[in-house]
Amino acid sequence: MNEQDLCKKRLIDLSKQANRKGIVLFSDFLNLNEQTIYHQCQNLLETKTQSFGGRDFCERQMIAFIPDALYYEWDYPIACLKATPNYPKFADKLTHRDVLGALMNLGIDRSKLGDIFVSEQAYYFFCEESLVPFFTENLGMIRHTVVSVAPVDAADIDFLQKFEEKSGIVTSNRLDSILASVYKLSRSKASDLIQAEKVFVNGRNIVSNTYFCKEGDIVSVRGMGRFVYVKASGETQKGRIRFQYKQYL
């Protein structure tokens, strides 16, 4: 059984267990490819589902499997941790890769970790709630920088996710047209990205040029970044569509 089949089987099994036991169960953090598998097998699931990554803008998502007969309130078992250099004056300027490497070197599976955010002199990451004591006790250094780790409210990282509001002009809000405008590509190059399975909309891999962007769609392109399609905002004199989007920085 290949990785895609194993992922599909895990998701279906979790849904069956949640339905049988009458409790909410959760997947690990899913990457974009795994989220595509989740979308593809939704008609095989026995429960309702929701996805969340700790904050609305997170790319890696945990799936909640919610039985119809649920009678209690529940929360995602997701925690946000902040790593702060003990000696800021002598701290390295660390990157996303540095933080991820330090976490993985502790023997943690990537599926137990959500998104990572880097700011000036502070590093934030989401993880499964049960791992909080492990990280606070064992993550003492990132590269050559000594750090202290503590849980924080996920709202504290709102300021880290910055957007630049932009606008463009297209002949239609078809995905290849939007990509060409946002990334300054030819339509054929944009189509190549889609056909190469490098484009995701709201966590789902889109392989057809005929997808039309809708308000609020989060578009991710492998190796190029992400943006939010905000809305169409009128037409030019030549009948082309003006649209607004927010590009992740």
Q: For residue 147, how many other CB atoms are within 10 A of its CB? A: 21
**CATH code linked to domain 3-66:** 3.30.1370
Residue intervals in the chain for CATH 3.10.290.10? 163-248
**Span 90-110, pLDDT tens digits:** 898 999 999 999 999 999 999
CB-CB contact of 15 with 47 (8 Å)? yes
CATH number of 163-248: 3.10.290.10
State pTM to two decimals.
0.83
Class in CATH terms, 78-160:
alpha beta
> Which pLDDT belongs to residue 157?
73
Report the chain (249 residues): mean pLDDT per 10 consecutive residues. 91 97 97 94 96 91 94 94 94 93 96 93 94 97 96 79 90 96 96 96 91 95 94 91 93
In this structure, are residues 232 and 222 in contact, taking their beta carbons and an 8 Å threshold?
no
Question: How far is the C-alpha of 28 from the C-alpha of 228, rounded, in Å?
Answer: 25
